[in-house]
Structure 1
Amino acid sequence: MHGDLDLRADLEYGSLARLVRTAAERYGPQEAVVEGRNRISYAELGERVERAAAACIAAGVAPGDRVAVWAPNTLDWIVAALGAVTAGAVLVPVNTRFKGAETADVLRRTRARLLFVTGTFLGTSYVASLRRATREGTGTGPLPGLPHLERIVVLAEDAPTDFTAWPEFLAAGASVPAATVRARADSLGPDDPSDIIYTSGTTGHSKGAVITHAQTLRAYALWSELAGLRQGDRYLIVNPFFHTFGYKAGIVACLLRGATMIPQPVFGVETALANIAAERISVLPGPPTLHQQILDHPARALHDLSALRLVVTGAAVVPLQLVERLRSELKISTVLTAYGLSESSGIVTMCRRGDPPEVIASTSGRALPGTEVRVADAAGRPMPSGAAGEVQVRGYHVMSGYFEDPAATARALTPDGWLRTGDVGVLDADGNLRITDRIKDMFIVGGFNAYPAEIEQLLLRHPDIADAAVIGIPDGRLGEVGKVFAVRRAGSALTADGLIAWSRREMANYKVPREVAFVAELPRNASGKVVKRQLREGAR
């Protein structure tokens, strides 16, 4: 601890740019990032981030400009993202599961000026998929369909024509004096936006939650304190950086505490086991499915997992048996559950060290210090403990609103500042929150939020589909997966396998329905809405 200011990191640092600089000074020779044979100290990380910030300034990035990153968990992601933020940009992390059209939509709506993109990842050329999605348009930049996007930097040694390779981009920053970078960083204020995290609503249109430097710093200083993250911890970051859990509970938390980041680009249980053993991993947050796979892996006993001491999970129902097995079989001293959403800077409630296992397994813990959580009825009236209602949260970490979407912001935030989460929950007498259902019909596939309305809209683009409704069904490996009830157009011979194969080409993998039922018509109520309750009962 560095005094009382530790829990008000917004006051101590003021911005993420100053956090990076301070971490470089405070933890200088310690390992900051390990990526294969590449081992980067905090001092080196600070230098790399300043070089990336200089390159952003050289490329014309001005304070408040949006800069997007579409890449997996790597050292380059960390450097590019923190460099952009240090240059005063508002970071727009893009989901690596997105296809070109989905990414183009986010870039278009944020009017991003600069995009950092991976080369080829999991056999897919992100550049090619983006080119296909943006062929039409009148823009003069690298992609005609994205007129505001001035430059695309490929995080690789070389890049296609009209794009810039990462080394070339960094080299162009050499003309920008260090004092200029420092001045730009120092001009940032705590209430300036630091990032726009895209989420999806039930309307099927993704919305960007605008979060500030102060909100991020204050919330994740508290997260780090409650979790017990400490200097010298070795943190395997499997949660994707495009998600708050990966970026903020991962990168930002490590910068705050002087922990070592070991990014893992793809979750594979064998890779995770090898990393935990080889790098003496002590901290492993992630969805319950990750921990379940580690516990159940037949080769687990061949790996030394004895350094593991801290697990934080959430994003789904956590079986009590999982908590007990992590403690008894892996001897993990601290297992915690938490709940959050993008609109609340990624965190609402969290268990505390010392909570009994049944509280950790059956609830998501209590409100973050300095914030309020309540359960309200349909009219917005607070409900007593033990009664189910919509979970609502109010506090310093709640977004200012959705980016350039006042109508959606007004639906999400009450006039007196309560965020309507759309989740149904119950508070016990001690203030522990249990999430029981989802107003929004959302389901969670291996830790990823899947929104039926969004998937339904994508399915309706298929020329043979006249109508579609999606629900979540249980899955032993992923927790839940999508099942679609589809109405074929007259004369169509479309098969279930054909629709699933088409879906794999058109949408992120976690959105792809795993089961298809063709029906003559969907059950609808008097107002024309699909009665999903009937579909769920039929699916059971």
Structure 2
Amino acid sequence: MSKLTESYNHGVDSTPLLEKTIGLLLQETAEKNPDKEAVVFCAEGIRKTFSQLLQETDALAAGLLALGFQPGDRLAVWSPNRYEWVLTQYATARVGMILVAVSPMFGPEELKYALNKVQPQGIVIAPKSPKKDFHKVLMSMVKSDAGSSSLSQLKIISMEGETEGDVLKFEDVTKRGGEQEVERLKQLQQTLQPDQPIHIAFTSGTTGPPKAPAFSHRHVINNCYFTGRRLNYHEEDHRLCVPMPIWRALGMIVCNLNPLVFGHTAVYSGPDFNPLAVLAAIDKERCTSVYGNSPMLMALVKQPTFGDYDVSSLKTAVIGGQGIGGSDLPLPMLQLFRQKLHLTNVTVAMPMTECGPVAFQGVLGDPEEKLTSTVGRTLSHVEVKVVDDAGCTVPVNTPGHFLTRGYYIMLHYWGDQEKTDKAFTADGWFQTGDFISMDEDGYVQLLGRESERIKVGDSYIFPKEVENVLRSHKQVKDGQIVELSVSGETKLCACVVLESGASLSETDVLDFCKDKVMSILSVIFLILGDKIVDPIKMKKTHRYYQIT
């Protein structure tokens, strides 16, 4: 690749995009590898081969048709990681329905907002857990909203447990389909198209109410395919450990579709992230690859009983996260992961829901400098550019607005044409709302959200840019930037928490940082010692910090 001078990169690739539906991919993979394990759900004690997975997917799909669901209808899933979640994802794809992923952490108001936004015809809910009684919360909300055209008409399917009223049991739905539905399902596989909508995944809502990007088969299959190719998934067999939530776009797409796209085995460690459950899954199932973020992997290696588990089967990791100012993967952490988790192949990736969901990813063999300071490079068949406030492409290594276009960009925000129109330029570029810089090799640093820029004098500061430098000091446990009002003037304050027993002065911290980030000169310091303090609430309500 020739060196870039302008911050524009096109991921040219001779490998064509896949033009298939999820349903056909499942069918083809089951025909090629009928007896190979497709999914393992450790907490539920469930193992399914590809032939079993296809059979049970089609039983559920036929049952949904028997209930009156039609192609284009929306079916929400409100649950942590479970086998029924994945089965519902595949079954809706076989019918041509649209799966709506709803966070199990949503409370009643958030759930009501989500359902009103996408207007689903039905919802699949998890059984009661120690954290939440999903059935009770939903039924209370439906009853309080009696007469509403959106909620009172919902077909409710419970994954397991006792039901009441019109609530259906998941197992019963899988038995509802007859010969007519089975035949129709076969016909649908020949008529469904790759560009039809198939998934809705809510954004994190950091800049306002969560938006609902919609994606087609083509979007999600190819994002999974081309991110996997960067890991040589197309040439090697893997048992993929999935500790991350599959109701997030990254888990739902890159992890859940991996068995269909590559014929690999996906191993789900549990309903929620639990370090010991993940270690046990890697050990028992001999997982060779893992998706996670830096805090997840750090939680594994820091377990007091880490040595009790054999994780020597691991060799590949995708470390995702919006590492602002870098990859959220400092060099000592990378070296620790490689040593403890036996990782020979590591790439970083940056998820963004609207980008279906991986926006950038590194490549195997990236030098440590790139792994620890960037979020990777432009994906295949995708364009990325960095522009100034006037919309002009900036030179390399110059901060600017992140714009992108290509197959992976969402179809639209569901139920919000105004925000959709605002998100795209006239010539089809998606305006992400992020600030990035691109170097001459095409590697990208994420600087922050546009909404997080803080003007100090004639320049802008991104808090995370300073925070990452603070945290790289060996004697600093955490460092965060907050806005304070000093004599009526807004000042930036670096709150620094030291490692136990450490001793640093403001001058020590300033000397360490000033050659790495010039904006540190505009910051005042508050050295907090090594004690946990109360949360500090910033002047701007979109940023809160817990200093620990």
Shift of 1:394: 1.2
Contact 2:142 2:152 (C-alpha < 8 Å) held by counterparts: no
Kept in 1: contact 2:145–2:152 (CA 8 A): no
Call closer, same or farther: CA 1:435–1:133 in 2, change over 3 Å: same
* 1:175-254 equivalent positions in 2, closer than 5 A: 176-201=180-205, 204-229=208-233, 232-254=237-259
Q: Deviations over 1:35-82 (max 9, x none)?
A: 233221000001011111101111111111111111111111111121
Whole-angstrom CA distance in 2 between matches of 1:132 and 1:80: 24
Q: 1:431 to 1:149 in 2, by over 3 A?
A: farther
Q: Which runs of structure 2 are paired with 1:224-373 in the superposition (5 Å)?
A: 224-229=228-233, 232-263=237-268, 264-315=270-321, 316=323, 317-373=328-384
Displacement, 1:147?
3.9
Alignment of 1:399-478 (within 5 A): 399-441=410-452
Q: Evaluate the alpha carbon distance shift between residue 203 and residue 339 of structure 1 in structure 2; reply closer, same or farther with a 3 A threshold.
A: closer
Contact 2:347–2:364 (CA under 8 A) maintained in structure 1: yes
- 1:50–1:83 Cα contact (<8 Å) kept: yes
What is the alpha-carbon distance in structure 1 between the residues aligned to residue 257 and residue 15 of structure 2? 14
Candidates 22, 28, 31, aligned match of 1:22: 28
1:108 has 2:116 as partner: yes
2:47 equivalent in structure 1? 39
Q: 1:91 to 1:531 in 2, by over 3 A?
A: closer
Compute the RMSD of aligned alpha carbons.
Answer: 3.2
Deviations 1:137-190 (A, max 9, x none): 344xxxx57347431000014323221111111111245442211112322101
Distance, in Å, in 2 between the alignment partners of 1:146 and 1:390 is: 38
2:392 is paired with a residue whose SS is coil
Q: How many residues of Structure 1 are paired with residues of Structure 2 in the alignment?
A: 464
Contact 2:398 2:438 in 1 (8 A): yes
Amino acid corresponding to residue 297 of structure 1 in structure 2: Q
The structural deviation recorded for 1:131 is 2.4
Residue type matched to 1:288 in 2?
A: S
Cα pair distance change 1:539/1:48, threshold 3 Å? closer
Q: How far apart are residue 368 of structure 1 and its match?
A: 0.4
User: 2:424·2:431 contact (CA, 8 Å) conserved in 1?
Assistant: yes
**Residue 202 (structure 1) shift:** 5.5
What is the TM-score normalised by the length of structure 2? 0.78
Which whole-Å deviations, capped at 9, do the CAs of 1:399-423 have from their partners, x for residues lacking one?
Answer: 1221121111122111111111112
Deviation at 1:480, TM superposition (A): 9.8
Distance of 1:86 and 1:484 partners within structure 2 = 51
2:109 maps to 1:98: no
Kept in 2, the 8 Å contact 1:285–1:313? The answer is yes
Deviation at 1:309, TM superposition (A): 1.0
Q: Write the deviation string for residues 280-302 of structure 1: whole angstroms up to 9, x where unpaired.
A: 11111111101111122221111
Shift of 1:384: 1.0
The structure showing larger relative contact order (alpha-carbon pairs under 8 Å, at least 6 residues apart) is 2
Deviation digits for residues 441-494 of structure 1, max 9, x if unmatched? 49xxxxxxxxxxxxxxxxxxxxxxxxxxxx99x999x99999999xxxxxxxxx
2:372 & 2:387 partners in 1: Cα distance? 24
Deviations 1:102-144, CA, capped at 9 Å, x for gaps: 11211122110011110113331111112233333344xxxx5
Answer yes or no: is the 8 Å Cα contact 1:10–1:215 preserved in 2: no
TM-score, with structure 1 as normaliser = 0.79
Question: Within 1, Cα distance between the matches of 2:157 and 2:481?
Answer: 35
Alpha-carbon offset, residue 6 of structure 1: 11
Greater shift, 269-278 or 167-176, is seen at: 167-176
Instruction: Write out aligned runs for 1:1-16 (5 A).
Output: 7-8=15-16, 10-11=18-19, 14-16=20-22
Name structure 1 gaps, 5 residues minimum. Answer: 443-470, 486-513, 524-529
Q: Structure 1 vs Structure 2: percent identity of aligned residues?
A: 24
Give the whole-Å Cα distance in 1 for the aligned partners of 2:297 and 2:404: 28
Question: How far, CA to CA, are the matches of 2:14 and 2:161 in structure 1?
Answer: 39
Amino acid at match of 1:270: L
Q: Is the 8 A contact 2:37 2:50 kept in 1?
A: yes
Cα contact 1:339–1:364 (8 A) shared by 2:
yes
